[in-house]
Every structure is written in C-alpha cells, then in structure tokens.
Chain A
Amino acid sequence: MEKYISSDKVIGIVYSLLTSINIPIYVRTKPTKAADDEYIVINTLAINSDVLQSCRVNVNYHCKDLYVDDMGYVPDMANLDSNTNTIINLLKRYTGSGTHTYTIDFIGQETFSEENINEHFSNVKFKFNYINK
C-alpha cells in the first residue's frame, strides 16, 4: 500500500495532461468567485485500494450559451464539440511513460444543460487505472 494513490493525486495527473488547453481548469468544483465563460472542472468518483487501483474521472467542459435574438439562449455547439474532442484526444488511451504505471481509458461522453445559468457542459468520462505495486 505504500504506493497507494488518492483520487486527488489522480486529479493532479489528469490536470497536468490538460494544461496545453488554454482554458481555466478547476479541480472538484468551480470556485464561487470565478466568472469564466468557459472552463473545465475535473472530478472523480471514489478510488479503490486494490493492487489495480481504478476510478472514474469526469472532465467537464463548461461553456456559456449563445444568445440568438429570435430563439434565446442556445448551446455553443462549435465550442462544445471542438473542446470535447481536444480533451478526448489528449487523454484517451493514455499510458503513463517512464516509471508511471497508469493508463487512462475513454469511457463515454454526454452533454448536459444548466438552464439556470445559461450554460451547457460536456461530460467526458474516463477510467483511470493504476498498478499499486
């Protein structure tokens, strides 16, 4: 168990792999004072303590809706699509290099509406696997 990693460590690893995206990245939740039009939040479900540690990682790309005169607020499909693809391409089938013994697998993606704040977010789900030896 001496090389056990926490879900916070997992978030840190995923964070470091996404820094090339020029968008604010927050861990677990968006800070209450942040007022970005687009941002990424990384969170995880619980991580187990087996030899093969694994947990689900959510990378959520949030984007303000666009206002169209005749229609009102509509999702910014172009940004949602392009940044979702960027996230997937950076993380899918990622295998840690050097002494790292972890892999990241792409599980799936969904887009959700946050009507109250005129926002949509793309939820990209990954599975993080780490050999705890």
Chain B
Amino acid sequence: MRLDVIFDPNAVLKEYTILQEAEKNGLISEMIAYAQDFMEEAVRQPEGHELGYYNNRTFQLRSSIGAYIFKDGELVWMQGSPENISLIEDAIPRGLTLVAMVGKDYASYVESYGYNVISDYGDLLLFDLTPVFRSYGSTTSQKGNILKGF
C-alpha cells in the first residue's frame, strides 16, 4: 500500500478562503448582537435632566442614532438612520468595521452639559472576540480591523 500526499495550492487556498469567510461571518453575527444591544439602550433611554438624560423634544437627536457594520468597505448590516452612511462611508477601512454614531453635530454639545446621548452605551461595544476565534480558528484575526465606538 502506498500513500501519496499531493499538495494542491489551489485546494489549500480555497479551504483558507472558506475558513476566512466562516470567521468573518461569525464575527459579523457577534457584532450584530452587540450593536443591537447598543441601539436598544441608546434609542430607548429615559428622558429627564434630573436623571442625567436629555429631554427628547424633537426626536431629531434620537432618530439620528445608528449602528453600521462594513465588510471591506461594503455595508453589510445597519440599524437606525440611513442618512449617517454618507457621513462615514469614505472613512471606512478594509476589514470588518463596526460604527455606532449619532448623526447630529450638537450631540456633543448636549453631552458637554452632562446629559448622555450615546457615550454611556459605548462600553456595550467592547466585546470579547475570543469565542469567535475559538470556533473558527484565528486564521484571519490579524487582518480583522474592528473599530469600536465613535
């Protein structure tokens, strides 16, 4: 009996590509779950200065909150205001990118007075990627480019 080992670079490359895709898809699912938590908290936060939150008078600030996931510059998932995409799409690097933002320029002014708009929920987007890499191997972890926050 003889065992021949034939090295086929194309097959290896194909397998590597499949692993890369699986890992990226796993990451995207994970990112979506955290982004949804962020949106839930940011859009449905309480109102009232006495509680440390702004008063939602016009709904413009709250309705401009959004979360977006880009894969190699292409939008693959979003929740919230579509108007923000034009503000950020030119700055998206290659790889996987998660952006959570509020699309009104006065949001920072509101927060300067101590009323949370989205910053309190930024930590919801600091998540542990270890389980995803364990599931799929870390074939492309060094290539992942995940921006957390704002």
Contacts and interface: CB of A to CB of B under 8 A. Distances in A.
A123 B108 contact: yes
Contacts of B119: 45, 56
6 contacts: A45-B116, A46-B120, A54-B123, A56-B119, A58-B111, A125-B112
Contacts, number: 33
A121 B112 CA distance: 10
B16 interface: no
Count class of interface residues, chain B: 10 to 19
Interface in A50-108: 54, 56, 58, 60
B131 interface: no
4 closest A-B pairs by CB: A43-B114, A123-B112, A45-B116, A46-B52
Interface string B102-129: 0000001101111110011001000000
Interface of B: 52, 108-109, 111-116, 119-120, 123
Given A45-B52, A46-B52, A112 B123 contact: no
Contact of A112 (B52, B109, B116, B120): B109
B114 A112 contact: no
A18 B133 CA distance: 45
B113 A45 contact: no
Interface of A: 28, 43-46, 48, 54, 56, 58, 60, 110, 112, 121, 123, 125
Contacts of B115: 45
A110 B112 contact: yes
Contact of B116 (A28, A46, A121): A46
Given A110-B108, A123-B108, A43 B113 contact: yes
A98 B22 CA distance: 49
A45 B111 contact: yes
Contacts of A54: 123
A112 B109 CA distance: 7
Contacts of B52: 45-46
Given A45-B120, A46-B52, A46-B120, A28 B114 contact: yes
Nearest to B51: A46
A89 B124 CA distance: 29
A58 B52 CA distance: 13
A127 B97 CA distance: 23
A20 B123 CA distance: 32
